[in-house]
Amino acid sequence: KSLIFDKLGINQGMIMENMAAQMLRASGNALYFHEFKYQGADAAKESKYEIDFLTVRKRKIVPIEVKSSGYKQHKSFDYLLKKYDLKVKDKYILYTKDLLYEDGITYLPIYMAGLI
């Protein structure tokens, strides 16, 4: 009934993450997932955060986040850097808009994932 009346819910983020994973692997990237707890300065308690994909380039970590909407907020990137003080080569957000470089993050359209 839901399918017939176009009321079928869809998790667009999950679909985009799967597309990105396939393109990243096809271009030779080894992919890792990372989940961590962090308590921000304005938070009352620790919360869970995740980075969709981590890969390694020239012995440095490259975090990749996939966004189906709300791409301007990227607490996961910010908290990952604060918590672990990692040496990060590049940071990428894959999303549905145009190519953009802002605040040290490269925003790539999802179809360009294979170029990372």
- Residues 14-52 pLDDT 10s: 888 999 999 999 999 999 998 888 887 777 888 898 899
Calpha distance 63→54 (Å, rounded): 5
CATH of 12-115, one of 3.40.1350, 1.10.10, 3.40.50, 3.90.550: 3.40.1350
| pTM (two decimals) | 0.82
E-assigned strand segments in the chain: 32-38, 47-57, 60-66, 92-95, 100-102, 105-109
Q: Strand, coil or helix: what is 20? A: helix
Angstrom distance (rounded) from CA 22 to CA 84: 28
Per-residue pLDDT at 8: 58
Q: What mean pLDDT is predicted for residues 50-79?
A: 86
Burial of 62 (C-beta count, 10 Å sphere; 0-12/13-18/19+): middle
Q: What percent of the chain has pLDDT over 90?
A: 40
Residue spans of the domains in the chain: they are: 12-115
